[in-house]
Amino acid sequence: MPPAALTLPVPDDYVLARDVCSYGYFLLAPNLWSPHERRFITTLNTSRAAVTLTISQPPRHTRSAKPRSAGPITSARELLSTRGRPLHILPDRPLPPRDERLVRDQLTRMLNLTTTTRDLREFHRLDPRFKPLGRGRLFRSPSFFEDVIKTVTSCNVTWPGTISMNTRLCATLGRRSPTRRHAFPTPQALAAVAPARLRATCRVGYRDARLVDLATRFADGRVDVEWFENPSTPDADLRAALLDLPGVGPYAAHNILQLLGRYDHLPLDTESVRHARNVLSFKGTSRSLMKRIDAHFAPFAPHRFRSYWFELWNFYEARRGHSWTWDPATTGTTFTAAQLKP
């Protein structure tokens, strides 16, 4: 019996291409955006197995999952033509009710479907530059655990290195779906690996023991995921708890905070320094530039990260075209400022 397709309702403003291709993690395994087919493919863990999902957002005039035309989206009008339309989801295996609920919950988190219209209106009021395209939602992982591991693998490394580590983590430790794609490792799978083997097979370098330690803390319940995900937990408490995790410094903590929907913190790094110099025309040492860029985005609180990130994203897109047109094997590996050429 072929698997049944699912339909997932979305907010009235939601656009799959724009909102998936809004943050770099959409380029990391097990995720795959197909600009020509206008589909997002990902592999998720369910109760006992993995499932690969092909997700599309058919325009209003058709019920088909097939795109209206071949090739990447070329205009804002075309991009927004699917706004608010339900998502069509095709799994590669039948999903029992429990697994279907898990899939829906994970996609809701990954696609940031709980972001409210009121929240986006507040952001656009503070920073109207991003209102015309409706930007505001940021792509993230289907779980807090995956966001933490991906953040740690993005520190002190080039973007191709981050891509490689995550690809190897999935291929080596992730469950395989019927279509032979691999999910991200579960905490239990990563915790069970010896650090030396992790370093050798996934090329994670000095992160080996830290990643295993992190996974162990998630697997045995020492990391209270519900507490971290609870909107009522104060930002200061979250930051302090994140800094207590192995491999998590100030940059990583602030990045994880935005992935938790806390946008009043900037994860500043060398990319921020380049942005300060090349785009904002600030001068000074790296340390002074980080202070200046932090102050520069202060008026956008509590949405500072959104303003900072989409300004940075605009710089990338000015060099390589809109992110929903990026081929993951070419442009997707070279979108950071260190590698982009005018």
Instruction: Render pLDDT for 7-65 as a digit per residue (tens, 0 to 9).
Output: 999 999 999 999 999 999 999 999 999 999 999 999 999 998 999 999 999 987 655 54
Checking 168-174 for CB contacts under 8 A at 24+ apart, the result is 168/201, 168/202, 168/203, 169/29, 169/202, 169/204, 170/29, 170/30, 170/43, 171/29, 172/201, 172/202, 173/202, 174/30, 174/43, 174/50
Could you report the per-residue pLDDT of 72-128, keeping only the tens digit for each?
999 999 999 999 999 999 999 999 999 999 999 999 999 999 999 999 999 999 999
Q: Please tell me the pTM assigned to this model.
A: 0.95
Q: Which domains does the chain have, with CATH numbers?
A: 6-130 (3.30.310.20), 143-223 (1.10.340.30), 233-323 (no CATH)
Residue 61 confidence (pLDDT): 65
Work out the pLDDT band at 334, boundaries 50, 70, 90. confident
Could you report the per-residue pLDDT of 165-221, keeping only the tens digit for each?
999 999 999 999 999 999 999 999 999 999 999 999 999 999 999 999 999 999 999
Could you report the per-residue pLDDT of 294-332, keeping only the tens digit for each?
999 999 999 999 999 999 999 999 999 999 999 998 888
